[in-house]
Structure 1
């Protein structure tokens, strides 16, 4: 029996990242900077990815998809597209947090940090003396006590977090799509919950400030 073929996809930032793995081996991968146009580009890019890996859609055993945190629109694009694809292929769609993807296969304690607006970061600690649950925090408010021996900061806000805490900044072991595929490969047989966006904060939207129109009674 052949090893399962797993596709990993992430568009939670200004990029498209995807990878195809089988039995721990990377068959093909792509990582393209893409601030916009992900909707139109995603499936043609994935078709090329499968072709490079010598595979067809019907060969997939599972799909891993990045659920964020990150860009709201980007997360919705990949999660909805991969859930639809998984339904059509009758395979599982496994949601994977980008924070978990950043920390995957790190050799020691990691503080995964994704840039957020206004000097903030989405963070999560993995392999630390006291692991940190995912949270949205102001970087300058991170307590310096987090800087335990061997800790490294990883991610798009990793350099800023590293400078604040006085710890090294390191690159992740894998690109997002590949890390997501590798994590999904360990979960797809037991994962039952549908992939859903992982935002950690409300959308940047506010109710209108204008007062509602006044309805005037018609004269008698």
Structure 2
């Protein structure tokens, strides 16, 4: 009988730090803390603490799961960079997990996953909805009224404002971010081949300069 995989999932794509050590269906340890700042310094100690409390070491891991956004630009980079580095050093797969998918994990359809975004926007995705709601960032004022339907519920940090706009119900996600990430990674780790990459549904606020690089003159010419 095959031993269930040991998956370490984590996420810092919002103002939080969440992590779960999952052995098959069993949660060996978990951590969640609201964390508007300091994620870069906190992440590795949090992960080491999860392993220690779960009676495991880095070398015991079958795979790593990481939240790739959408969300905070800096927070996503912190987690994705950590996951890539750990994957390379440990020789185990790292699976990137979309947080909109994670919010809807094991939810009863129809639902809209929703995360708060800057400037009165929300990130959204529909699951089992009559309307085709693709993953996108949209201004609340531009949300179509025909997204509403009987039994629709909104899940996530942007759920309250979106549900008010559509006049539908709010529901809690079944799992915290780190736990959902670990569970989805457990489903995909043997088939996932792509390295985790940030999911940005908007350009970063700090974009690289578009100025043309200066021409270097050869004084010997």
**Cα distance, 1:150 vs. partner?**
1.5
Residue in 2 that maps onto 1:145: 146
Residue in 2 that maps onto 1:47: 48
Matched, 1:96 2:97: yes
Residue in 2 that maps onto 1:203: 204
Residue in 1 that maps onto 2:119: 118
Task: Return the alpha-carbon distance in structure 1 between the equivalents of residues 130 and 21 of structure 2.
Answer: 34
Between 74-83 and 138-147, the greater mean CA deviation after superposition = 138-147
The equivalences for 1:29-44 within 5 A come to 29-44=30-45
Residue in 2 that maps onto 1:16: 17
Residue in 1 that maps onto 2:155: 154
Residues 17 and 207 of structure 1, relative CA distance in 2, 3 Å threshold: closer
**Cα distance, 1:175 vs. partner?**
0.1
Task: Return the alpha-carbon distance in structure 1 between the equivalents of residues 200 and 57 of structure 2.
Answer: 32
Q: Is residue 131–residue 146 contact of structure 2 (8 Å, CA) maintained in 1?
A: no
Report the TM-score, using the length of structure 2 for normalisation: 0.91
**Cα distance, 1:109 vs. partner?**
1.1
In the alignment, structure 1 segments of 5+ residues that lack a partner are 209-220
Task: Return the alpha-carbon distance in structure 2 between the equivalents of residues 80 and 188 of structure 1.
Answer: 18
User: How big is the alpha-carbon RMSD for the aligned residues of Structure 1 and Structure 2?
Assistant: 1.8
- Partner of 2:179, secondary structure, is helix
- Partner of 1:136, secondary structure, is strand
Task: Return the alpha-carbon distance in structure 2 between the equivalents of residues 188 and 52 of structure 1.
Answer: 23
In the alignment, structure 2 segments of 5+ residues that lack a partner are 210-221
Residues 206 and 88 of structure 1, relative CA distance in 2, 3 Å threshold: closer
- 4+ residue runs over 4 A deviation: none
**Cα distance, 1:127 vs. partner?**
1.8
Report the TM-score, using the length of structure 1 for normalisation: 0.92
* CA displacement 1:68-102 (0-9 Å, x = unmatched): 00000000000001110011111110000110111
Residue in 2 that maps onto 1:78: 79
Residues 101 and 206 of structure 1, relative CA distance in 2, 3 Å threshold: closer
Between 55-64 and 141-150, the greater mean CA deviation after superposition = 141-150
Residues 86 and 206 of structure 1, relative CA distance in 2, 3 Å threshold: closer
